[in-house]
Amino acid sequence: MSHVTTHILDAATGTPAVGVPVALLHGTGAPLAIAATDAEGRISDLGPDSLEAGAYRLIFDTKAYYGMTGTTTFYPQVTIDFEVVDGVEHYHVPLLLSPFAYSTYRGN
């Protein structure tokens, strides 16, 4: 299983956000992985099985997603910075999304 996973729900429609491109970066470097959410709004294979400690970033291309649905959004991208402390722990970072708001938390 990938060390980092995500799940995106579209709060405006109450459905999974399908086809959202997501990039995982170590700090501000080049992407370690890029994937898109599946039919359940999930990415279960995003990057390597283990990560070294440090700062990481997830970039969600919400403009591409809302472009597919024909919806205008205030947030063309959502960036979530987080810290990996333990290189063997699993990090699940869900995103609850709407055209004019979003929230996140550390899941399991």
> Quick check: 16 and 105 in contact, CB under 8 A?
no
Computed over its alpha carbons, how large is the radius of gyration of the chain?
Answer: 13
Please report, in range form, the residues annotated as the binding site for substrate. 7, 42, 105
Give the contacts of 88 (CB within 8 A, at least 6 positions apart).
50
Please report, in range form, the residues annotated as the binding site. 7, 42, 105
Q: Return the closest-CA partner of residue 54 out of 91, 23, 100, 21.
A: 91
Structure tokens at 85: 């402390």
